[in-house]
Amino acid sequence: MSHQVSQSDGRILLSGDLVFSRATALRWQLEKLIGQSQGRVLVDFEHVERVDSSALSLWLCLERHAEPRGVELVALNVPEELHSIARLAGLTDIGLA
C-alpha cells in the first residue's frame, strides 16, 4: 500500500507503509508541513500498516527539522513495531508516545 499524508483537525495523519522505499518522499512532504506549522503538531500513526527501521530514522529527522523552528512533535497511535525498533536501537526517550 502506498503512503498517504493529510492534515485534519490540527493533526498530520499518516497511513500506509512507512518503509525504506517510501521514506525519502514522505520525509520531504512531512518537513514541508512541519515548516508551515507552529507550536504543537500531532502526528497520528493510526492508519500506518507496516514500518521498518527507516520509520524510526524518519521520526528522528522530523524532530531535528521541527526543533529549531519551535515546533513540538507529538506522536499518536505509534505502532508497536516502531516502539520495538526504537527499544532495540536504545532510543526509548525520543517522543514516540
Q: How far apart are CA 73 and CA 67, in angstroms?
A: 9
3-state secondary structure of 7: strand
Residue 93 phi, psi dihedral angles, 5° rounding: -115, 60
Whether residue 42 is contained in a domain is answered as yes
Whether residue 9 is contained in a domain is answered as yes
The predicted-structure confidence for 45-79, as pLDDT tens digits, reads as follows 999 999 999 999 999 999 999 999 999 999 999 99
Whether residue 64 is contained in a domain is answered as yes
Whether the pTM exceeds 0.75: the reply is: yes
Grid cell locating 25: 518522499
Number of domains in the chain: 1
43 in Cβ contact with 71 (< 8 Å): no
What sign does the dihedral 12-82-39-63 (CA atoms) show?
negative
CATH number of the domain residue 32 falls in = 3.30.750.24
